[in-house]
Structure 1
Amino acid sequence: MTALAAVGCARCDGALEQGDLRCPLCGLAVSGTEGPRALKVQARVARCDTCGASVAYSVEARAPQCAFCTSVMHVETMTDPVEQAEALVPFAVDPAAARAALGEFLGRRRFFQPSDLAARAAVDSLQALWWPAWGFSAGARVSWTADSDAGSRRSDWAPHAGQAELSFEDVLVSASRGLSDTECTGLAGAYRLGTAQAQPQGPEDAQVERFDVTRSGARRQIQAAVEREAEARLREAHIPGRRFRHVHVAVVLASLRTRRYALPAYVLAYRYRDKAYRVVVHGQDAAVVLGETPVSWAKVMAVVGGVLLGVLLLVLLFR
């Protein structure tokens, strides 16, 4: 579903898309005669009772497990309009490479990690999936204030302010409930969005997580993403000086175009000493691996004991 440029918001003339209940720019409610009517689709999805993620339901999969947290899912029928991904980024990493990436991840030497983790960890499950994200392009007028070392003279800081016209292309905002914001942010930067296709291309058992919010419902996340990106660009090219503090930005969107992406990843669950952990491997770059590892409390206690002993020795020395 692409933006319908001919249909605009009555307040700000922002482009409206099918399924918009409110204008994504100004938040004005869309009347039945003003915007394009949404298509009512009765979608059957499998919903996780633990993390809330939803994936397309197949009658062949009975009591399917959640790909994100391995909990049993229940089946529900959704009568409200369901957002559908229009651009599916293909997998470039196969399951064998994903398992190898997990092995390398577990084999990395981290000080507080158990030394036998790589040898004793057992893979419980590997699930290929596409997680949903909004890709938005926008134009914006950004007003900013900040303190920097430019022109500070004898003082450490000097105040500055200004405005800038910025444009944004294909900035990704997560629409996933199964992956955390940290995981989505870590994965987003390595996708090659130009390879996106209309049909899925990847492992046969790959699942597709569904969009749970409308485009207008994602307005706050999109606005926050624009503000973060705008602040980063201002620090790089617009605010004078080399050191900054108290950077504040105010963004007014002049245009907004969105695209619904489905992005590939592998979610792997492994077990160490009867406790489960999760790792996410990028579907197009196996070097991008995000996840959790157990902590060796023996090493933690050894460090704490060493610090306390050092403090005690210093106290005795000064006495």
Structure 2
Amino acid sequence: MAPQTSDRQEHRFPCDQCGADFRYSPERGMLVCDHCGNTASMVDRPEAPAIAELDFKAALNQQLPEAETEVTRVLNCPNCGAQVEFDGVTHAKECPFCATPVVTDTGEHRHIKPRGVLPFGVDEDGARVAMNDWLGSLWFAPNGLQEYARKGRKMQGVYVPYFTYDADTKTEYSGQRGTVYHETRRVTVNGKTQTRTVQKVRWRPVSGRVARWFDDVLVLASKSLPQKYTDALEPWDLSALEPYSPEFLAGFRAEGYTVALDEGFETARVKMSRVIERDVKFDIGGDRQRINKMDTQVSDVTFKHVLLPVWVAAYKYRDKSYRFVVNGRTGRVQGERPYSAWKIALAVIAGLIVAAGVGYLVAINQ
């Protein structure tokens, strides 16, 4: 079935029985109408082309074909900076990332179209169960936190933007290879002669060249969520990426990227450098390695803009926002958490009582 689109490329998938909107169902892998129960198979859509890479330099020089860019309507969160796509009738909304009410003028954002999408594999109920289990495992969490989880507040399914980078690298290096050897020495201790074995390292200069092709170096293209939490949601099964199709977004939000393409590549270069350093050490060989210099040439850089699925819950506790994120494929949970001062105080008091009791028993026995 073909989507209905407006001049702003807003996609709707009306049910052919009742006219209500279809949504993509992760558990069923198809479009489902919550109003009448009608379904539509994803196989009815036209065959999508394979996911292709885009030229990095052409994108930086704004020379991509016009078909590779689009304009979407977004609202900007004044608190966390998220740019979240909205439909044509929404003018006020709570930010799914930090629970801040977003009431702002509508704006349009021109960006590179997504090439791939990793469909949700965990539905909202599954995500809530995973989050509740995670919250229940936290030590010293306030009761209000767990009560919030039990209330079953709606979680928001959001497709979060990422860039993947491919690159060919060739690195020339110089360094030193260390070979461990042992020497036996005689020492005198308290008038007695003893034999000791001392470990030493013999270094010699080396140089060489290593090459590596990097495929799909993943970089978060959003600043709305703490990277330490989104990084902890990895790994992502990128082999399951589907060519982008708006049907997968039915019933979900999609965040616009706020990290520039070249900025993302700098992050990718840091990740590449760590791998190249390991390659160089392996190439140096020996028992120990020292790297004095690495000169890396990067070529044939390509990229993709892809969307990965995250369930987001956010609430305010004592005027501070706390956010939880759930990997929409694996159910892995990460998030922020407050601490209960009185629970910590009770634990300290209980520890002191136990310590005092143990000390008293020891004293009696002595």
2:322 paired residue among 258, 274, 277: 277
1:180 paired residue among 213, 226, 231: 226
Range with bigger deviation, 238-247 or 164-173? 238-247
2:107 paired residue among 77, 98, 106: 77
Q: Give deviations 1:86-110, integer Å, cap 9, x for gaps.
A: 11111111000000000111122x5
Q: 1:118 to 1:44 in 2, by over 3 A?
A: closer
Distance 2:342 2:174 in 1: 48
- Identity among equivalent pairs (%): 24
Distance 1:158 1:303 in 2: 53
Q: Give deviations 1:35-84, integer Å, cap 9, x for gaps.
A: 456677553211111111102121232311211112133244347x4122
2:147 paired residue among 108, 114, 120: 120
Gaps of at least 5 residues in structure 2 are 1-50, 182-198, 360-366
Q: CA deviation at 1:20?
A: 2.1
2:338 paired residue among 285, 288, 294: 294
Distance 2:105 2:252 in 1: 18
Q: 1:96 to 1:220 in 2, by over 3 A?
A: same
Contact 2:169/2:296 (8 A) holds in 1: yes
Q: 1:63 to 1:144 in 2, by over 3 A?
A: farther
Partner of 1:138: 167
Corresponding letter in the other structure for 2:216 = D
Q: 1:290 to 1:62 in 2, by over 3 A?
A: same
Distance 1:229 1:115 in 2: 42
Distance 1:105 1:157 in 2: 51
Partner of 2:86: 57
Contact 1:45/1:54 (8 A) holds in 2: yes
Q: Give deviations 1:243-299, integer Å, cap 9, x for gaps.
A: 76778754321221111111111111256677642111001101x211122324456
Q: 1:113 to 1:127 in 2, by over 3 A?
A: same
Matched, 1:20 2:55: no
> Structure 2 length as normaliser, TM-score?
0.64
Partner of 1:212: 258
Contact 1:90/1:200 (8 A) holds in 2: no
Gaps of at least 5 residues in structure 1 are 6-14, 22-29, 314-319
SS in 2 for 1:114: coil
- Aligned-residue CA RMSD in angstroms? 3.8
Q: 1:204 to 1:219 in 2, by over 3 A?
A: closer
Q: 1:118 to 1:42 in 2, by over 3 A?
A: closer
Q: CA deviation at 1:124?
A: 4.4
Q: Which has the higher strand share?
A: 2
